[in-house]
Amino acid sequence: MSSVITARGNKAKENAIKDKLDLSKIYLRLKEGQSHKVRLLGVEDYVEYSAVGDFNLGIYNQAISGQESPLVVAFEKGGEEFSNLYTKSRYVFVFGSVETGELVAWDCSKTQAKNMISTIDEYAEDVSEIAFNFKRTGTKTDTLYSLNPIIRLKAEDKEKFEALKDLTVEDEYFESIIKPNDAKFLAKLLKEAGFDVETHLPHIDLSEDDSEDAKGEPNTGAPSVTIDITDDDLPF
């Protein structure tokens, strides 16, 4: 007799989380001068992951899970044109949103992460008492993100701040919001950039491609937005 149970324990939890996540609402996408009120739920709610991308090829940063990624193959076999597809470290921070009452995330470069970690460390002993404005200033290579303490919260925001105190960020949550795209999708990106997919990735069949449109920022599933280019993304 076949079982009606499809998953148990951690696997069931993982499936439940994935089903309800809308990454376009989770990742903070701020325009110049905009801010978002947040609570630091801890002092280590950030992770490092491996990513590959080249803005000049129209391939925005993609999370990768191993050296077999088509992007790594393109770096190794694509010559000078694909030499900027080297693996680099990127970071994701998670905060509690005072505005929505939910978890929100921010994806950033190594340089941006260093600055953010420095601020978090500075206020480490007071994170349970202070809310922050997560703010963006500047554009392109001059873009800066900062956490600025809010001296006095409005009464309604204070209630929302307190309501976040029991939220925690588990490793499973990070896994669910940092999703490597499948090999077929990445191969499509490379083909559109001029890489010889048929020769170097013969095991990937694009003849009946059903991948989503390669434009925008496919690593997060977010709608098309202005891309922040930092010094970490430049080849010099």
* Residue 78: pLDDT over 80: yes
**Could you tell me how many helices (H) and strands (E) the chain has, helices first?**
8, 7
At 140 the pLDDT is 85
Residue 189 domain-assigned (yes or no): yes
Buried b (16+ CB within 10 A) or exposed e, 39-76: bbbbeebbbebbbbbbeebebbbbbbeeeebbbbbbbe
Residue 5 domain-assigned (yes or no): no
Element (H, E) at 18: helix 10-20
Task: Report which of residues 36 and 222 the model is more confident about.
Answer: 36
CA atoms within 13 A on the CB side of 179: 19
Residue 122 domain-assigned (yes or no): yes
- Indicate the average pLDDT of the chain: 86
pLDDT band at 19 (very low <50, low <70, confident <90, very high): low
Decide: 37 and 132 in contact? Cβ < 8 Å. Answer: yes
* Residue 179: pLDDT over 60: yes
The residues, any chain, with a CB within 8 Å of residue 221's CB and separated by 6 or more, are: 23, 24, 179
Q: Which of 36, 161, 34, 169 is nearest to 92 (CA)?
A: 169
Say what the alpha-carbon torsion angle 28, 131, 110, 54 is, to the nearest 10 degrees: 10
Average pLDDT value for residue range 91-103: 97
pTM above 0.75, yes or no: yes
Strands (E) located in 109-223: 131-137, 144-149
pLDDT band at 60 (very low <50, low <70, confident <90, very high): very high
Q: What is the spatial distance between Cα 36 and Cα 99, in angstroms, rounded to a whole number?
A: 7
Domains held by the chain: number: 1
Residue 1 domain-assigned (yes or no): no
Residue 28 domain-assigned (yes or no): yes
The residues, any chain, with a CB within 8 Å of residue 206's CB and separated by 6 or more, are: 184, 187, 188, 191, 197
At 223 the pLDDT is 31
What does the block give as tokens for 157? 């925001």
Residue 10 domain-assigned (yes or no): no
CA 135 to chain centre: 17
At 20 the pLDDT is 65
pLDDT in tens, 223-234: 333 345 555 554
Residue 12 domain-assigned (yes or no): no
* Residue 33: pLDDT over 70: yes
Least confident range of 49-63, 146-160, 199-213: 199-213
**What is the residue range of 180's domain?**
21-233
Residue 3 domain-assigned (yes or no): no
CA atoms within 13 A on the CB side of 25: 9
Q: What is the spatial distance between Cα 98 and Cα 37, in angstroms, rounded to a whole number?
A: 5
Element (H, E) at 48: strand 46-54
